[in-house]
Amino acid sequence: MLIEIQNTPIETRYRLLTSSVMPRPIAWVSTISKDGVLNLAPFSFFNVVSSDPAILVFSPGFKLVVQDGKKVTVKKDTLKNIQETGQFVVNVVTYALAEKMNLTSGEFESHINEFEKAGVTAAPSHMVQPPRVAESPISMECSLYQLIEFGQSPGAGNLVMGEIKCMHIDDAVFKDGRLESEALDLVGRLGGNLYTTTRDSFSLKRPKVD
């Protein structure tokens, strides 16, 4: 079967892409509006792309709202807040936090504090204004490095590049200068409503090339 992406409806295209590229790590992004309202939302279009400088990326899309009887796309609060403040925190999601993370994926009104909705603790950050999720074993404080917009359609994304300024790491998952992957028990996104964890893993040694 050959599928020409440009001739495929956006909803079908989204399902094909998210079911082909998986598991996807989850960025649980905390931001703050210019008026001081806290926001917390998950994004599974997420990864790290550089260690010098230390850069991570994630992609918030748009949300559909009804204005004057018509559906229109508007920026998600996460994107709007980052554009206004230039700062955000990426918190990792463990299996124990999965339900709370999922709750924050709801399209809440802008004045709603998702930290309170999910029942997680907003802990002070060290170098940026938005707080971090205290219950997350790893939180990365970031400043906006670059933003690339891909359009205004419902399926368009916005690539947020963040420069990692510092990391908060739980001592329980850090040993001999390394993170303990099994102790982290992180969650990844599959297609639809399916998720996975990092508990099942295997090791492969990289080949030596003469």
Q: Which long-range contacts (CB under 8 A, 24 or more apart) does 117-122 make?
A: 118/40, 120/40, 122/30, 122/38
Query: Is residue 204 one of the residues assigned to a domain?
Result: no
DSSP 110-133: TT--HHHHHT--EEPPSSSSS-EE
Query: Is residue 179 one of the residues assigned to a domain?
Result: yes
Q: What is the pLDDT along the chain (210 residues), one digit of tens a residue?
A: 999 999 999 889 999 999 999 999 999 999 999 999 999 999 999 999 999 999 999 999 888 777 877 878 889 999 999 999 999 999 999 999 999 999 999 989 999 999 999 999 999 999 999 999 999 999 999 999 999 999 888 888 999 999 999 999 999 999 988 998 888 999 999 999 999 999 888 889 999 998
CATH number at residue 95: 2.30.110.10
Query: Is residue 209 one of the residues assigned to a domain?
Result: no
Question: Which residues face 141 on adjacent strands?
Answer: 89, 166
Query: Is residue 159 one of the residues assigned to a domain?
Result: yes
Query: Is residue 208 one of the residues assigned to a domain?
Result: no
Query: Is residue 203 one of the residues assigned to a domain?
Result: no
Query: Is residue 2 one of the residues assigned to a domain?
Result: no
Query: Is residue 202 one of the residues assigned to a domain?
Result: no
User: Could you tell me the residue range of the domain that residue 140 belongs to?
Assistant: 13-197
Indicate the number of domains in the chain: 1
